[in-house]
A and B are shown apart, each in its own frame.
Chain A
C-alpha cells in the first residue's frame, strides 16, 4: 500500500489490485475517517477526498495505515442480470482483434460474471472487470461522436453500458434495455462499486 497526497483535499491509496481496492473500500465504508467526504474506488487505487477545514491528508493517512483490508471483503452490492442483444457495430471488429468468432465473443462476454470496480466518465457508467482477459481490446482509433444509450461496450479489459447518448471510443458489441442511471431511483446508479454483473443473451 502506498499513500499519495493530492493537495490539501485528497489522499490516493494505491493498492495491489482491484480485490484489495474493494476490500479497503468496504472497510472504510464501515468506519469512514472523520472529514472524508467522498471515496472513489478505481482499478488499483482508492481516492479519499476530504474537507480541508476538518482534516488533513496526513491525519487521514494515519487512519488508513491502521486499516487492514481483509481478503475477499467487498461491499455487498448484490448481483444484476443484464440481458443483451448482441448486434453491436463493433462485434466483428472485436472478433478479429481477439481471434475469435462473433459467437465465441458472445460466449466469452456472458460466461464469467463481471464486477463493477468504479464509476466514471458519466453518471452511472460503471467500469466492470473480471479475471478473464480474452476480451481486453483497445479503444476504437476513431471514437464515435454519438453512442446510443444502452450500448454494451468493451475497452482495455473493461466492459460497460453507456447510460446516455454521449461521445465514446469503446467497442460496441450489443445493446440492453436496462437503465444504468435514473434520478428517480435510490441510488440512481445501477452499477455501483462492488455490484456483480452477469450479461445474458436476450432471446
Chain B
C-alpha cells in the first residue's frame, strides 16, 4: 500500500524514493522494470558495458524486446538482434523475440503493476500509465544505468489534472479524446508535466482505452500519463491471471494540481491529426476528400484486440477501396491469436488487408509499409512527424481504428459514424 500523499505522480515517486516527495523535488528512486527494444537496446547494452556492469541488478525486472524491426529487414538490424539475444543469454534478462509483439503491449499484458516505476528506452513507455504505473521513456544511457544500479534520478513532475465527464458517443473513442486533448493544449502543452486523468468517465474506461490515452501523453510533451488503479485495472489484471499484481491507487483529495482541464467526452467527435504535427488536429468529417493511399491499423497505440474488433465490425462484408492499401499489425502474439479466434483477422483479410506479424510494423519507417513520395497515410499510430514513416516527402494522418477502417473503405478520410 502506498502511504504517501499527493498526486498520483507524487505518491508513486514518494513510495519509490522512501520519503514524501512533492512536485519539483529531485529524488533518487528505485526502479521496478527496465526494458529496451531493438533500435535503442544495442546502445543501451554498450553503455551498460562501458559503465563496467556485467549483469542487471537483481532488484529489477529487465526485459529486451525485438519488435521495431521484426523480422529483421536487413543484415545490420539482424546483427543488432543477435547482439541483444546474446546479451539476454549471458545475463538472464527476459527476451521477447520476433513475433512476440510490441514492448508496450507486452509490458501492459505481463509486466506492469500499479504503482511501479518503469523505465523503457522508448518514448511510448508512458503507455503503462494506463495501469497506474509511473512509466517513463528515457534514452539508452539512462536505461543502462538503471539496469546496473536499479535506480535513477527523477524530478517529481507538476501534474495537470484532466477531468473527464460524460459518455463516449457511438463512433468516438479514447483515441479521439487524446488527439483532441493534444490539439487543445499543443505538442508542448504538458512538457515535463504528469497528465493525470480522473473524473466520472474514467471509471467506465477499459484498461485498453486508458493505455491508448497514456500512450500519447508524450505527444503533449508529458513525462507520464497516469490513470488511477481501480476495479477496471483489477479486472484487467485478473483476466491475465495477475490479480495479485493489483493494488488500488488514487490521488488524494488534497492533491495540488498545476492546472485542471475539463473535458465532456459526450461532446467529442472523431478526430484526426494532420501532417506534420500531432497537435495539428481537425474533426475527421472536415477532411472529407483527402485521398489516402495507405491505412495502417496497429502499433502500441491502437493494435489491441478491441481496436481490431472495431475495425472488423466496420469492414464486415465490405472491401477496401482499390486505391487504398490496408495494413494491419496486431500489437502482440496474444492479440493476434485472440483476433484469429474471434474471426476479426478473417474479416480484415476478406476486406483486403495485409496482416503483418505482431510488432511495430510501419510506424517508424523502417520496413513493412514505407510510404512513397507524395503519398498520404492514415494510421492509428501516435506520430505524424515529417519523415516518420520512412519518407520525408509523404504525409501522415492519425486517427482511431474506426476512422481508419472507414477511410480504407472510402479511399479518403471518412467519419466512421457514417458506417455505424
Answer yes or no: are A and B bound together in one complex.
Answer: no
Q: B residues near A, CB below 8 A?
A: none
Q: A residues near B, CB below 8 A?
A: none
